[in-house]
Amino acid sequence: DRRFVDALARSYGERLFEDEFAHKIEHTIEFQVVFLQHLLGPSAIRTPIVPILCSSFLEQAKGKGGPLALPEVKGFVAALKDTITSSGKRVCLIASADLAHVGPRFGDQQRLSPGVLSLVESEDREMLKHVERVDADAFFQAVAKEDDPRRICGLPPMYVLLSAIAATEGKLLRYAQAADLDGLSCVTFAATSFV
């Protein structure tokens, strides 16, 4: 949706395009496009999409009152909310984001056992309670408090989504783990809807 992108750029500024080349190798939007095609059928071809990459801000935001204390994040969230409101359209925000990345392939010392995977699930589900409450700051603090040992790469897009939506509650629809059989890596993910 070029008009939406242009309006967002007018509101946020040219910083929106600073890392534009990163879109070339990013794969997460592909998953959502397939999902939307399945959900919407043939009309998905006419559905405008605005892919936005959110880079990491965990280190910059720790100890500064959270991500909204960073001018770039605060400005982007405000610009996104303003652009959505000004568009007059129904807009669906999707954070295409993984949760935990654990196991030796990601730098952990021990192989993944059923007990370790159970602990990861428990910690993920505890963190996702903040998502269900649409509490962006509590979600950020849950990840930041322990220096992100599970490597939650979805922190930035999920934080932005939680900060930008007008919803008052979320519902966890599904949680899953994609673990290698060799116990060397696992990536976790979830689906949540908001009202």
pLDDT exceeds cutoff 80 at 80? yes
How far apart CA 67 and CA 182 sit, in angstroms, is 37
For the entire predicted model, the pTM comes to 0.92
How far apart CA 160 and CA 143 sit, in angstroms, is 14
Domain edges within the chain: 2-194
All residues at 6 or more sequence positions from 153 whose CB lies less than 8 Å from its CB, including other chains: 56, 97, 98, 101
pLDDT digits (tens, 9 = 90+) for 110-130: 999 999 999 999 999 999 999
How far apart CA 190 and CA 195 sit, in angstroms, is 17
How far apart CA 178 and CA 4 sit, in angstroms, is 35
Among 17-21, 33-37, 133-137, 185-189, which is the least confidently predicted range?
17-21
How far apart CA 122 and CA 53 sit, in angstroms, is 28
pLDDT exceeds cutoff 80 at 22? no
All residues at 6 or more sequence positions from 18 whose CB lies less than 8 Å from its CB, including other chains: none
Report the share of the chain in percent with pLDDT over 70: 95
How far apart CA 184 and CA 108 sit, in angstroms, is 9
How far apart CA 188 and CA 152 sit, in angstroms, is 9
- Confidence band for 191, pLDDT divided at 50, 70 and 90: very high
pLDDT at 45: 75
* Two tokens, residue 184: 């060397």
